Amino acid sequence: MNGALKASIRALPERTIYAVTGCVALLGATIAVIVVDRVGLGAIINDALVPFAVALIVWLVLGLARIRIVGFLPTGTEEPIPASLQPWIRSWLLVRFGLLGSALLLIIGAVVTAVVHGPLGSFVQAFACVVWFRILLDLIFGATFNAGVLYGRR
């Protein structure tokens, strides 16, 4: 499976990968800090609990159905991945890498803030928000991927 994902992302030029993930990293970190300062992490998590639970249940059901019908996906091949999912997989990987960059930027921001004895709350909460969003994004992708594989096998 990892081989199929790596082969999918290799289809993009390296310059595009760096540009998109860098933009997502900067925008993600900035938006996370602004949203956490304005709304608060508690409100964000409370508002996201229902979509998170729904995505988790759908991911679990479709994952079990895919394993039962298709079986485990072989490693290193793109065969089980339908062609219609390829662009979506690339987009998901770019956003996922960008969110990893956002988390890194927020950690660096927290360290710099700690060194100058500033308040760490915004950076730590924004980091938690980015991690929460990345997990939600992975659940949604996993459910969509499993649905696509099941649909492609019918």
DSSP sequence for 36-96: HHHT-HHHHHHHHHHHHHHHHHHHHHHHHHHHHHT-SPPTT--TTS-GGGHHHHHHHHHHH
**pLDDT at residue 6, as a whole number:** 61
State the pLDDT confidence band at 26, using cuts at 50, 70 and 90. very high
pLDDT of 115 strictly over 70: yes
Amino acid found at 50? V
Nearest alpha-carbon partner for 4 in 143, 149, 151: 149
Above pLDDT 70, what percent of the chain? 86
Average pLDDT for residues 116-124, to the nearest whole number? Answer: 87
Q: What sign has the CA pseudo-torsion 1, 55, 41, 25? A: positive
Greater confidence, 109 or 148?
A: 109
The pLDDT value given to residue 80: 56
The pTM is what? 0.80
Tell me what the mean pLDDT of segment 129-133 comes to.
93
Counting every residue written for the chain, the total comes to: 154
